[in-house]
């Protein structure tokens, strides 16, 4: 196995769009699997929607092993296109898929002029050192004075990592992720002050 400390962090490029869309869908797939039976269809449905300039990648041996995005609450990091979703899922199912994707990938409950961070990790590499390095990289940019992330109640490893880096839980809320499934989230805050 390769040494995970040897990866590089750099901006995502246009040629990475397909891999990035797969990682985005994979990160939310446990909530989408009843609605989207094939992960590839989900990736194709959001591929054109990613705002590439908001993403950074961790690369090891020429392969993307992690992804992080940083956005503000005005412009988000993904612009869902209903026509792309309809192309993949058909007219009847597209509305349900669109609603589920919007609830997962839209930025809500974030104060203005703050940053929102999210990090899907590749299926092949669930290494927390990748996530930690990506988070430290984003925080070191000091683009915002406060940063937010959402963590579902069943993501204890992710929450522990955020707390280790100085994030604190500030709010709990529920959203409906997919058909008849409500997920409770914690909104985590990091302050540079």
Domain encompassing residue 97? 4-143
Write out pLDDT tens, residues 109-161: 778 888 999 887 766 666 678 889 999 999 998 889 899 988 887 788 888 99
Does residue 186 lie within any of the structural domains? no
3-state secondary structure at position 180: coil
pLDDT value at 1 more than 60: no
Q: Is 30 exposed, middle or buried (0-12, 13-18, 19+ CB in 10 A)?
A: middle
Does residue 193 lie within any of the structural domains? no
Does residue 179 lie within any of the structural domains? no
Instruction: List the alpha helices (DSSP H) in 55-164.
Output: 82-105, 128-140, 156-164
User: Percent of the chain beyond pLDDT 70?
Assistant: 90
Spatial distance between the Cα atoms of 39 and 142, rounded to a whole number of angstroms? 34
How many domains, in total, are found in the chain?
Answer: 1
pLDDT value at 193 more than 90: no
- CA angle 167-169-174, nearest 5°? 135
Does residue 155 lie within any of the structural domains? no
What's the pLDDT at 178? 52
Mean pLDDT of the chain: 85
Does residue 17 lie within any of the structural domains? yes
Does residue 148 lie within any of the structural domains? no
- CATH number of the domain within which 10 lies: 3.40.630.30
Instruction: List the alpha helices (DSSP H) in the chain.
Output: 17-32, 39-46, 82-105, 128-140, 156-164
Does residue 180 lie within any of the structural domains? no
- pLDDT category at 177 given cuts 50, 70, 90 is low
Write out pLDDT tens, residues 92-112: 999 999 988 888 888 777 788
Distance linking the first and last C-alpha atoms of the chain: 39
Does residue 79 lie within any of the structural domains? yes
Closest by Cα among 97, 91, 96 to 44: 97
pTM of the full predicted structure?
Answer: 0.84
What's the pLDDT at 126? 63
pLDDT value at 180 more than 70: no
Spatial distance between the Cα atoms of 80 and 107, rounded to a whole number of angstroms? 12
């Amino acid at each position: 196995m390769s040494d995970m400390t040897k990866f590089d962090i750099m901006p995502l490029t246009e040629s990475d769009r397909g891999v990035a869309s797969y990682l985005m869908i994979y990160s939310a797939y446990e909530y989408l699997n009843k609605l989207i039976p094939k992960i590839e269809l989900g990736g194709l449905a959001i591929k054109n929607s990613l705002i590439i300039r908001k993403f950074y990648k961790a690369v090891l041996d020429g392969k993307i092993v992690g992804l992080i995005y940083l956005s503000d609450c005005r412009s988000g990091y993904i612009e869902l296109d209903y026509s792309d979703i309809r192309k993949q899922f058909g007219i009847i199912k597209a509305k349900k898929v669109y609603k589920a994707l919007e609830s997962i990938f839209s930025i809500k409950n974030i104060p203005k002029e703050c940053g929102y961070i999210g990090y899907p990790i590749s299926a092949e590499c669930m290494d927390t050192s990748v996530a930690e390095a990506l988070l430290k990289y984003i925080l070191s940019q000091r683009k915002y004075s406060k940063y937010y992330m959402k963590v579902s109640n069943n993501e204890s490893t992710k929450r522990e990592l955020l707390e280790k880096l100085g994030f604190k839980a500030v709010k709990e809320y529920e959203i409906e992720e997919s058909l008849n499934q409500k997920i409770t989230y914690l909104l985590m805050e990091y302050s540079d002050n």
